[in-house]
Amino acid sequence: MSNQYREANPVNNNGTINVWIHAHTHDDPGWLVTTDQYYVKQVRYILDTVIGALAVNPERKFTYVEQGFFQRWWKEQNDNMKALVHKLVENGQFEFNLGGWVMSDEATATYEDVINEMTLGAKFIYDEFGIRPTVGWSIDPFGHSKEIEALYADIGMDAFGINRVHYADKENRIKNQKLEFVWRGSNSQGEKSDMFIHMMDNHYCSPEECDFFSNSSGDCMYRKDDNSWFQDNADLPTFKVNAEEKAQKFVDMVKKRATYYDNGNNLLITWGCDFTFLSAPVSYDNMDKLIKYVNDNEDRFGVHVQYAVFSDYIKAVNKHKKQWDVYEGDFMPYASDPDAYWTGYYTSRGRTKGLNRRTMNELAVAELYLSLARVYHLPVNAEEVFEKVMKLRKAQGEFQHHDAITGTEKQAVANDYNVQMEDGSFFANEATSTILGAMLDVNLNHNITLKWAELSKRQRLGVILTNSNAQAIKNVVRVVVPVGALEVTDAAGKLLPFQINEIPDWSIERANGTHVVYVEVEVPALGFTTVYFRTQTSLATLPRGGVTRDDFIENEVYKLTFAENGLLQSVELKQEGRTVPFTDMLYQYTGRFNQGRSSGAYSFIPEKQTPDPVGSQAELTILKGDLVEEARVVYRSGYQQVLRLYRCEGIMKNVIEVVYDMGPTDDGREIVARFASEQLRNGRVLYTDANGLEDIRREYREDSVEPVSANYYPVTNRAFLQADASDLRLNLVVDRAHGVASVVDGVLEVMLKRRTRGDDWFGVDEPLTENDHYQQTLWLTLSSIQRSVEVHKRLDLHLNHAPVPYYFVGDKEPKMTSRSLLKKELPANVQLLNFQLNQLRDSDFLLRFHHLYTKGEATELAQEVTFDVNDYFADFQVTEMTEYGLSGMFPREQIQKERMQWEIDPKMKTSAATIKKSYAKDTIVNLTPMEFKTYRVRVN
């Protein structure tokens, strides 16, 4: 990204301009090479040379972000080096910025994953240095989310830096001196979620006027032109003195850029770039000379220069008393130029995005049982199971990086992320199996294939279904099995509602078995239940899904009717007494290739603005049973989907499940599903979630260059389309991040899978060649608006925190076959986000709650809720409970006292009562809509 500056604004800078030189390195934990390769070849030497350079001059300063890298380096250091770093941190020369395991993506990561990786990074900083980062910046993610900012506000940060904003928005802000403002991250939380924002006027790399090899990433410096050095020594006749020339160019740049901001004559200069400062002493030596020369001539130049960390700059700006604008929108999508909307990465590498969501759920279960191992003093090796869970914590944390979950890395790096997460999954599930097995006195394993191999004809396979939610889940569970004849019972031998369907030959699930068993179960809140599979010799009496000649599937809520071409044509809403014309079709865009910039991993650039149907007709097969009815739709090889309805009790009967079983797909095509109805026409207004939190209204953006790509938005968990005139709402819940749009009125478009033929010139330098065969699941509901609001977020938890199974073989009964760890369910609007063992060496736990609903939602659940935790936990009492910031490292009361205040329009202020509430009884939790509360607790 080149440093090109627009003309200076016509404003007067009265007085000296204070320039803050902010030295940093941006170290991606994987992108063009793997995390390990970056560390071994570059990062360890960056930290080595930077620490050495800071030690010899107390004026020098440096910022570091990525805790995943720093903690690797820390483990390699001796006591003397560690003592030196402690000294540098204490005197303000070395600052931890952000404090997370990585600099996370802001479009495709969920709030759960981001909170977990922030906590993982912050814990080390607190344990080792006794501090918390007070500022953060997110300088490379491709667009910025208001909800991510709100999370950092909840941690207690004073200010935040951002960079990648739509080019036209940034140009306008530069022209109007609006690059700094207060950002309100949550409409529900109001002023509590406010954060002061510094938006970079250009990019995060060094200006050429004062680069001094900080941008070199280790390039051989002797090859650089002589004028790259700051030369002020006249005793070197063959090396031209350039001090005045270099200083004047620097001052000219400073004076131009200072006009972009209205903050009391303060200018932040970011000095560094990707993997820079491999030779920190050389860079600092040249910058020392520039700073001295300019400051010695301060009266002439009108500029004063100093080294700074980000918090130094923020403190200076905070002293400038003005009323800052409050911004309540977000910065999605990001466009770097008119021809490059970075909206492809919302979908890129969908298989790995799905793996991330699966392991998020597995980690939640593992964290729960790791805590229970300590609470119940179970006979397990505490250090061993803790380390196994830590493997998944770290793998999950690393994958939230903005070149990992986004799918914008090289293929070899993507493969490495997959390996790390699968390894983490294996070890975390092994830990859960060990702990739960100790509780129940059975030998558990998460791998059903291994347990089937142990099964003899007379034995039964026990399936323990775990639920990490604080509310019971009544669900239909799917289990792939290698046999077509079995029965399913509870612990007492009573037959459960179940159905067996044969897996079609074209499905990826054929790799793991021949049939799917559907079982209707209720898994207790924060608990588990057990079902048993026993193989049978006869198929005659088993409940099976059979092929019919019908052209519809139905349950008590819906009837889906298919046309002669095999595609969906209408949905009858039985409980509302109306039929809605409704279609579901696959289309694909041809990605642009070799016509200027190609469509690539980052950007979605279609060759034409209208996609082509995958096919005008499809082969339709209808299967019906007592529990499940499904329509299998095959367009052609590689393009298959299943629509499924459940004939069950509970919330699942409201779901139209759509499973895409696709691959390999056509080269250079970007596949979308379009769900359409004339009754959903609303002027192309779409609603998407932000990181799984609040919903944002997305109005159609008129764009003459890229009208389709400009209107794609990220969805991590949910989206919806609604038409007030027809009182109809289409809800979407997803099992991984996607890009969505409404470019045609009445149509919800979901991008499913991408294969590009070219690279989009943003650094990866290879096409996105994802051609894996995998499944992805969408849940739809279609109903009146009120009915849709009631179920949307509950379905989100049902899909993304579905029961996780563990298996055992034999006739031995577990000590318990069904159990809830709660006396009663938590209120329906409360999510128990974490019950996490914070310290292995003692009984210190993190207890984190989240209010699931938004202020003003049309449901009684969108109300403030108060409860006493000791009214809910069944086997233990909370004896100590102190509220902390979101990362769980510093008390909330301390953070509120220390956090900077920024003056805003009084009309935008929130009453003090909303910001802080206290309760006499210290185990009482009060949650307002969208609020998080984090506690450090002790139990007995």
Please state, in angstroms and rounded to a whole number, the distance separating the CA atoms of residues 697 and 704. Answer: 22
Q: Is residue 109 part of a domain?
A: yes
Question: In this structure, are residues 446 and 805 in contact, taking their beta carbons and an 8 Å threshold?
Answer: yes
The CATH number covering residue 263 comes to 3.20.110.10
List the end-to-end C-alpha distance of the chain, in Å, as a whole number.
56
**Do 703 and 606 sit in the same domain of this protein?**
yes
Is the four-CA dihedral 746, 750, 751, 752 of positive or negative sign? negative
473-481 vs 461-467, strand pairing mode: unpaired
**Do 882 and 755 sit in the same domain of this protein?**
no
**Do 168 and 281 sit in the same domain of this protein?**
yes
**Do 283 and 432 sit in the same domain of this protein?**
no
**Do 403 and 320 sit in the same domain of this protein?**
no
Q: Is residue 635 part of a domain?
A: no
Please state, in angstroms and rounded to a whole number, the distance separating the CA atoms of residues 933 and 923. Answer: 12
Q: Is residue 3 part of a domain?
A: no
Per-residue confidence (pLDDT) for residue 1, from 0 to 100:
41
Q: For 489-617, where are the alpha helices, taking DSSP H only?
A: none
**Do 326 and 344 sit in the same domain of this protein?**
no
Buried b (16+ CB within 10 A) or exposed e, 284-293: bbbbbbbbbb
The CATH number covering residue 877 comes to 2.60.40.1360
Tell me the residue length of the chain: 940
Read off φ and ψ for residue 682, nearest 5 degrees.
-145, 20
Question: In this structure, are residues 691 and 734 in contact, taking their beta carbons and an 8 Å threshold?
Answer: no
DSSP 26: B
**Do 811 and 920 sit in the same domain of this protein?**
no
Q: What are the average pLDDT values for consecutive 10-residue runs of the chain, which has 940 residues?
A: 63 83 98 98 97 98 98 98 99 98 98 98 96 97 98 97 98 98 97 97 93 64 68 78 92 97 96 95 95 97 98 97 95 97 99 98 98 95 96 98 98 98 98 98 92 81 97 95 92 92 97 96 97 80 81 98 98 98 98 95 98 97 97 98 97 98 97 99 98 98 96 98 98 99 99 97 95 96 94 95 95 91 97 90 89 94 96 94 95 94 89 46 92 95
Please identify, among 306, 331, 356, the residue that sits at the C-terminal boundary of a domain: 331
CA-nearest of 102, 127, 98, 125 to 113 is 102
Residue 418, judged by CB atoms within 10 A of its CB (0-12, 13-18, 19+), counts as middle
Per-residue confidence (pLDDT) for residue 228, from 0 to 100:
76
Please identify, among 285, 311, 331, the residue that sits at the C-terminal boundary of a domain: 331
Per-residue confidence (pLDDT) for residue 219, from 0 to 100:
54
Q: Which residues constitute the domain of residue 146?
A: 17-331
Q: Is residue 645 part of a domain?
A: no
Q: For 500-557, where are the alpha helices, taking DSSP H only?
A: none
Structure tokens at 795: 């379905």
Structure tokens at 816: 């318990």
**Do 295 and 348 sit in the same domain of this protein?**
no
**Do 356 and 274 sit in the same domain of this protein?**
no
Q: Is residue 61 part of a domain?
A: yes
**Do 817 and 847 sit in the same domain of this protein?**
no
DSSP 822: B
Q: How many distinct structural domains can be found in the chain?
A: 3
**Do 453 and 510 sit in the same domain of this protein?**
yes
Per residue, the 3-state secondary structure of 245-297, as one string, reads HHHHHHHHHHHHHHCCCCCCCEEEEEECCECCCCCHHHHHHHHHHHHHHHHHC
CA-nearest of 691, 764, 915 to 138 is 691
| Residues in Cβ contact with 648 at an 8 Å cutoff, skipping those fewer than 6 apart | 474, 476, 497, 520, 555, 627
Please state, in angstroms and rounded to a whole number, the distance separating the CA atoms of residues 541 and 186. Answer: 55
Read off φ and ψ for residue 878, nearest 5 degrees.
-80, 120
Q: Is residue 740 part of a domain?
A: yes
Q: Is residue 62 part of a domain?
A: yes
Residue 822, judged by CB atoms within 10 A of its CB (0-12, 13-18, 19+), counts as buried
Please identify, among 331, 363, 395, the residue that sits at the C-terminal boundary of a domain: 331
CA dist 620 to 507, 546, 562, 567, 773, Å?
A: 15, 14, 9, 8, 21
Structure tokens at 866: 């108060």
Strand partners, 305: 19
**Do 849 and 892 sit in the same domain of this protein?**
yes
Question: In this structure, are residues 25 and 46 in contact, taking their beta carbons and an 8 Å threshold?
Answer: yes
Q: Is residue 565 part of a domain?
A: no
DSSP 304: E
